[in-house]
Amino acid sequence: MEKRIIGIMGAIPEEIDGVVALLSNPAARSMGKRTYFEGKINDIDTVVVFSRWGKVAAATTVTTLIHEFKITELLFTGVAGAIHSDLKIGDIVLGKRLIQHDMDARPLMKQYEIPLLSKTYIESNADHLNIATKAINYVFENKSLHAVIKAEDLDKFNISQPKLVVGDIASGDQFFSSNEQKHNLQNQLPEVLCVEMEGAAVAQVCYEYDIPFSIIRTISDVADDNSHIDFPSFIKKISSKYAAEIIKNIFNVKSLNT
């Protein structure tokens, strides 16, 4: 039977710090300008790493996790800008389908189609999607975040009743900071919930290596002209706490399903 090893990637250094703290007997290993932290969470072998920003960096990182650390599944956590109007800061989007919004090889193939794969979307494994859904809903239903995040910090970002939404995530090598960018994407891909810079690339690599994955994104802004405001504060006080709490509960669910 194949040894179970879970890889965890975070798009922001502060977000993996709390996850590394969950590891028992962590050991650091440097490779390719990245530091990989090996240990166990709930007796499950785990490797945690900061992915760096962008599709190339994230794809490189997950490929290393697959080849060098022999991971059998992947969790990716990070922030995203909301595209759908129903999403608010502090909500969670769990990726059911991932698409690269900047992939365009026309006229050779359709816009957004991944060359040689004949696919536009990469879909998450249903079982792993279910596990992540249970874990995130548990965090919200039990108000676990209120125990690890100060009330004044939640109030600062107007987070009162955060929710989980499962659906499409779009990735591309650009930070959305204008209403024009947001509206253009809404017109082209109306089903997309949020936008970020790594998830679809990670999903493609995992698909090609048959590695199940979960892409989990905390909404940090609404991807418009104000998306840069208090971003560092949000990472430090909100999303880093989200990441650790959600990962902890995913491992609790995984342990029950072992």
pLDDT in tens, 189-229: 999 999 999 999 999 999 999 999 999 999 998 766 666 56
Provide mean pLDDT across the span 46-50. 98
Element (H, E) at 165: strand 164-171
Q: How confident is the model over 141-165, as a mean pLDDT?
A: 92
**What does the block give as tokens for 187?**
């017109």
Q: Is 145 helix (H, G, I), strand (E, B) or coil?
A: helix
Determine the pLDDT at residue 15.
Answer: 87
The pLDDT score that the predictor gives to residue 229 is 62
Determine the pLDDT at residue 228.
Answer: 58
Q: Which residue has the tokens 């969470």?
A: 41
% of the chain residues with pLDDT over 70: 96
Collapsing DSSP states into helix, strand and coil, what is residue 245?
helix
Which one-letter DSSP state was computed for residue 119? B
Q: Cα separation of 87 and 194, whole Å?
A: 9
pLDDT of residue 226: 64
What pTM did the predictor assign?
0.94
Most confidently modeled of 62-66, 155-159, 160-164, 237-241? 62-66
Please give the single-letter amino acid code of residue 183.
H
Confirm if 173 and 196 have CB atoms less than 8 A apart. no
At residue 172, what is the residue type? G
pLDDT at residue 255 above 80? no
Mean pLDDT of 8-31: 94
Name the percent of the chain lying above pLDDT 90: 83
- The mean pLDDT value of the chain amounts to 93
What does the pLDDT read at residue 146?
86
